[in-house]
Amino acid sequence: MTYPSAPARTLARPQRAAAGWLGWMGFGVLALAALAAGPARAQGEVTVSHGYSNFGELKYPADMAHLDYVNPDAPKGGEISIWSQGNFDSFNQYARAGVPAALNTIGSESLLTSTADDPYGSYCFLCTTLEYPEDLSFVTFNLREDVTFADGTPMTAEDVAYSFNLFQTQGIPEYRSVVEGFIKEVVVEGDYRITFRFNPDSSVRDRVGIAGGTPVFSKAWFEAKGQRLDQSTREPFMSTGAYVLDSFDFNRRVVYRRNPDYWGYDHPFSIGRNNFDRIRVEYFADSDAAFEGFKAGAYTFRIESEPQTWAERYDFPGVTNGWVVREEIPDGNVGDRLAWVFNLDRPEWQDERVRRAISLMFNFEWSNATLYFGLYQRPVSFWSGTDLAAEGVPSEGELALLRPLVEEGLLPESILTDEAYVPPANDPSANRPSRQLIRQASALLDEAGWTTGPDGLRRNAEGKVLDLLILQFNPMFDRVINPYIENLTSLGVRARLERVDSAQYVERRRKGDFDMTSQRFSLPFEPSIGLEQWFASKTADDSSRNLMRLRNPAIDRLIGSVIDATSLDDMKTGVRAVDRALRSVGFDLPLWYSGNYWVAYYDMYRHPETLPPLALGYLDFWWFDPEAEGRLRAAGALR
């Protein structure tokens, strides 16, 4: 699906588990085509159903009691506290201006929702049913009549239409450039009935997701406040969700509380969820300070992102006394591809040979063994850990997509016969790459016209030195970047690290004021038009995802084949071709990912024995044990 908002920054710690269920972000993959499941009925040429799936049947029937992976008897109460890095000065993550507070969309809900155990399913949440014809030229949502905003006012179709139009007119440019032209008109047919009519040339698989996946805000609140979607705000937008803002102290703390009057507690999708009375976020300048705060009990739940910390530093009294639980929990999502991306708007990085040479000087094996205790894997694909990843030589289906692009000169002939690109392995015993790889990198730079002068620096024919500025805000990256800079320096590249505060980091990435910076590619199981936000030429000028400014007509065409896919097999073939082509372009230097969550928490939280594959859910369906909390306080474990 597409994403209306832009993240404030790329964090070293995983965010998906915290945000994966919050509002529209929780939809993972919205199911959008004409295969309805469960008790649907035909009315002439219109089908009425409780949900959609592009591929196969929905997991849950219309009369489900609750989700399979929740504890329906989970008690309500207590507080869970987590941490965030940096600062914040806004509660609107849909605007370029400001740095949004963590979990600022926690109160947002949409017409449709997804689950953590059905990657292709989409279900009515703020609606009771949807109606659509075979050609999916429109979709009608019949809204629930019991939904209220946090102030107690009812949600109606007018609010849905108003919210949708906000994103169409005031949403960030990268979102608008992708979804413009999708909707022919939005028709409010009554207080609780709304129809979206689609333009015939819009992507069929994305239609219902665009219509039903938009957060719903209060029209009356926006008009009374004079608020715009593209402006920062000091309070969250009035929404329908279970949590509302309780209190905040800019750059130090933000607290959300469970709304006792939330409309949806008895909804089957809400049973066993929204269990904490309060969710508190403590802010720290860096991860070291945050870890010390966790040890002291300043906050109580931590997803660890630093392998060295996980391997060596969890020997403090809270752990040895049994106050703190450590768990490694499998993450069944597509493996995130954390990478350093090149700014392709700068002339020196437009040459693939130069990018390959720079990338060859990073020794993942040494970094993983020496700095990260062997706990990481390298994300060779953009869909690591899934059957969407390109492997070996192209299949016949991939060749059918790739060959025309080769014939037009848009892709090299080698992509038809070579195996999918995998970064070469290195010796883990020393930081420097192997002699063979150093020679290869040097030859690539020589071939590209960057030759070594008497001072050891690489210059082109105009005498310009090959400079590489790596932009970063997280000091935890220093220990991996500095050895990499040593390798680049030995090659004759004048590389340096510039670490800035989070506000500068956001602004400079947006403006393209860098040579290389971090990006975390988080891609879904059912990619479609959202790929354009990540990789399409149309988003390269202003995107929080296409940071590398990729403009490649072959990639654009291949993305189109994914968007147009009507079967699961065709979609997977298209994604593998996209993956193969992206890796062949080489616009990023893949770093690492983990297939597990590393979780530490004070022993007063409980979770279902079997967790679902697609969500950790600690803010969602875990719960609080007051007796265990009392024992911890009596022992002096908590502040």
CA dist 346 and 22 (Å) reads 37
Confidence of residue 44 (pLDDT cuts 50, 70, 90): low
List alpha helices for 171-315, DSSP H.
173-179, 207-212, 219-225, 287-295, 307-312
Q: Is the pLDDT of residue 480 over 90?
A: yes
d(CA 238, CA 92): 11
Q: DSSP alpha helices (H): ranges in 79-206?
A: 157-170, 173-179
Q: Which residue ranges make up each domain of the chain?
A: 16-76+94-225, 337-592
Is the predicted pLDDT of residue 14 greater than 50, yes or no? no
- Asked if residue 178 has pLDDT above 90, the reply is no
Residue 266 CB partners (closer than 8 Å, separation 6+): none
Query: Across the beta sheet with 51-53, what order do the strands follow?
Result: 51-53, 118-124, 112-115
Predicted confidence (pLDDT) per residue in 218-263, tens digit: 999 999 999 999 999 999 999 999 999 999 999 899 999 999 999 9
Stretch 117-134: mean pLDDT, rounded? Answer: 95
Distances (CA, A) of 37 to 349, 439, 571: 49, 58, 20
Q: Residue 118 corresponds to which tokens in the numbers above? A: 């059905």
- Mean pLDDT on 277-296: 95
The reported pLDDT for the residue numbered 506 is 86
Which pLDDT band, with edges at 50, 70 and 90, does 61 fall under? very high
The token pair at 176 is 């608008």
Report the alpha-carbon distance of residue 427 to residue 421 in Å, rounded.
19
Q: What is the DSSP letter of 377?
A: B
CA distances from 245 to 23, 100, 253, 255 (A): 15, 13, 12, 6
pLDDT tens digits along 126-142: 999 999 999 999 999 99
Structure tokens at 241: 């969700």
Give the domain 337-592 fold. Answer: Dipeptide-binding Protein; domain 3 (3.10.105)
**Percent helix / strand / coil, the chain, rounded to 5:** 30, 20, 50
Between these two residues, 596 and 174, which has the higher pLDDT value? 596
Average pLDDT over residues 311-321: 95
Tokens 């500025």 identify what position? 469
Q: What is the mean pLDDT of residues 44-70?
A: 91
Q: What is the mean pLDDT of residues 138-148?
A: 98
**Contact predicate 175/544, CB 8 Å:** no
Q: Is the pLDDT of residue 48 over 60?
A: yes
| Separation of first and last alpha carbons in the chain | 42
pLDDT score recorded for residue 17? 32
**What single-letter amino acid sits at 207?**
R
Q: Range with the lowest mean pLDDT among 175-179, 452-456, 563-567? A: 175-179
Write down the residue that tokens 């109160």 correspond to: 107
Query: Above 90 in pLDDT, residue 7?
Result: no
Asked if pLDDT for residue 19 goes beyond 50, the answer is no
- 120-141 core/surface letters (b: 16 or more CB in 10 A; e: else): bbbbbbbbebbbbeeebebbbb
CB atoms within 10 A of CB 634: 9
What's the confidence (pLDDT) of residue 176?
Answer: 81
Question: Which among 359, 583, 370, 590 has a CA at the least distance from the CA of 484?
Answer: 359
* pLDDT reported for residue 34: 30
pLDDT, residue 29, reads 30
User: Tell me, what's the pLDDT at 544?
Assistant: 86
Would you say residue 318 has pLDDT above 70? yes
pLDDT (tens digit per residue) in 578-591: 999 999 999 999 99
pLDDT at position 4: 56
pLDDT digits (tens, 9 = 90+) for 386-434: 999 999 999 999 999 999 999 999 999 999 999 999 999 999 999 999 9
Residue 3, pLDDT > 60, answer no
Mean pLDDT score across all residues of the chain = 91
Is residue 40's pLDDT more than 50? no
* pLDDT of amino acid 55: 85
Residue 20: pLDDT band with limits 50, 70, 90: very low
Count of positions (residues) in the chain = 639
Residue 21 clears pLDDT 50, i.e. is over it: no
pLDDT at 180: 78
131 and 43 Cβ atoms separated by less than 8 Å: yes
Whether 391 and 380 have beta carbons less than 8 Å apart is answered as: no
Predicted local confidence at residue 97, as pLDDT = 83
Class of domain 16-76+94-225: alpha beta
Structure-token match 């107690």, residue found: 152
